[in-house]
Chain A
């Protein structure tokens, strides 16, 4: 946030009133068409057959099961990725070791890989023709086309979310406070809980919320590994696809409206957390560069 000067500033580039109004107008129209309209049509289509159809879709056992599975995936994948993010941020920002830059790039890989590629890759680890496939089969452990596969694929896709928020911030904050706490006799966990965590709590929450939104909405990777078994391995996004291709558009949009509501709340939470300063350090610098 910059403080606004009280004296009247000379016009800056692009402050010509006609240009300014035209540009704002064009941008607002495009935002309305490209970003806002899709959100509105979800609500309109969801209720196109009336409230009763909407309610019946939501309370249908298949939908409830899909909601349950989506929540379960989030309840496991988000805490695991949070723990990973904290561990990675602590190792990378509090210590110097060989290969640190490379590790940072590897952590960010899931952002660049297509979810479909991720799903396929998991087939070749846990599938029958994969690395562990025969072993898992011998012990009758099902990972693919079952709930564990869905959770692991979600973990891949969202692995970097928390780490990416914490690393630049903890890097910027340095090591002095933690060193002081340690030299006064605090244990590692005590130092983290009482010294580091209070300084990064908003960024942590920010990462957790974005991670959660992505886990709940993941489609591509999950659709490869889930097997799409109705009432068994369907998450909410997969359930939407199933209803849509079943010519139950109103039902698909009703289910979609749940995820759209979560998306809207995610954005509201994001704005509120940004007011607390979360997400700002990342915006101003590339973590890989700052650490080099």
Chain B
């Protein structure tokens, strides 16, 4: 049933929206794609498949995977502790989870570098165990962990809060152990939200720049992330190479956006919500 809409303001509000989105969001991205496309397939392929570019994809993707897997466990535990337990300081923990979103990435970058440098609070201890963090891929992973942690916590938390206790009680009355109930009842309900959080977190890791460049060491072929390689190509005035590699990152972002939207749609399909 569709009623006639009596509200005013569609032309103005939609006009402003389309104009702004077109000018600020769409136009630059289209310009980037055109610039990359103007290279021609052979040149484009040569740039995006150069050994240095491939090495940068490798370190970016592997570090993002490592960071996301760590955050999957840490984020789930954090969301679980915040929603299911009552303890002193719970609200503070709940609030600080957003710090990685609120703290500028450059600030996070120098802070993490100071902590994990070989004379830093954590770095000196880890060094004595033979683990080097700053200026290695491990440093990249830690920076990524920091900046993307809130995604998983904040996507899982509302689902955990809304979980129907009756489901657990039913499973308990049937004699299931806690671990079995978690695995067979709770985890399947959390999975769509977890996956959505994982894809958001992974996408953020792939594009992260500010937090990483301070701690990464930035050595070509080993600790140079793709975002930095783009930046370096720009500083060399090699705009075509910058456009080509940036287009790879942009396509990856669109791919991740598609996956996230699909996962979120699925997540809602399986939750009982009006």
The reply to whether chain A is a binding partner of chain B is yes
State the A residues within 8 Å of B (CB). Answer: 2, 9-10, 12-16, 19-20, 23-24, 26-28, 30-31, 33-39, 41-42, 45, 83-84, 86-88, 90-92, 94-97, 103, 105-110, 112-118, 120-125, 127, 129-131, 152, 155-156, 159, 175, 178-179, 182-183, 187-188, 191-192, 210, 213, 216-220, 223-224, 237-238, 240-241, 244, 249, 252-253, 256, 259-260, 263-264, 266-268, 270-271, 283-286, 288-289
Contacts of B91 in A (CB 8 A): 271
Cα separation A138 to B115 with both chains bound (whole Å) = 49
Contact between B157 and A283, CB atoms less than 8 A apart: yes
Closest to A95 in B: B10
State the B residues within 8 Å of A (CB). Answer: 2, 5-10, 12-14, 16-18, 20-21, 24-29, 31-32, 34-35, 74, 77-78, 80-81, 84-85, 87, 89, 91, 93, 95-108, 110-112, 114-115, 120-122, 145-146, 149, 154, 157-158, 161-162, 165, 168-169, 172, 178, 181-182, 186, 203, 206-210, 214, 227-228, 230-231, 234, 239, 242-243, 246, 249-250, 253-254, 256-257, 260-261, 264-265, 267-268, 273
Contact between B107 and A217, CB atoms less than 8 A apart: yes
Contact between B17 and A91, CB atoms less than 8 A apart: yes
Q: Which of A42, A91, A109 contacts B257 (CB 8 A)?
A: A109
Majority secondary structure, B binding face: helix
Closest to B107 in A: A256
Cα separation A192 to B13 with both chains bound (whole Å) = 12
Closest to A80 in B: B20
Contact between A112 and B209, CB atoms less than 8 A apart: no
Contact between B162 and A284, CB atoms less than 8 A apart: yes
Contact between B103 and A125, CB atoms less than 8 A apart: no
Q: A117-B250, A188-B9, A216-B104 are in contact. List 16 more A-B contacts (CB 8 A).
A: A23-B80, A23-B85, A35-B149, A42-B110, A45-B114, A87-B13, A112-B253, A112-B256, A114-B207, A114-B209, A121-B28, A121-B246, A240-B107, A253-B110, A267-B99, A286-B265
Cα separation A84 to B261 with both chains bound (whole Å) = 23
Q: Which of B7, B16, B161, B260 contacts A83 (CB 8 A)?
A: B16
The minimal Cβ–Cβ distance linking A131 to chain B, given in whole angstroms, is: 5
Contact between A267 and B207, CB atoms less than 8 A apart: no
Contacts of A35 in B (CB 8 A): 96-97, 99-100, 146, 149
Question: Known contacts being A37-B115, A117-B32, is A179 close to B78, with CB within 8 Å?
Answer: no
Closest to A116 in B: B227
Contact between B253 and A117, CB atoms less than 8 A apart: yes
Contact between A120 and B230, CB atoms less than 8 A apart: yes
The minimal Cβ–Cβ distance linking B138 to chain A, given in whole angstroms, is: 14
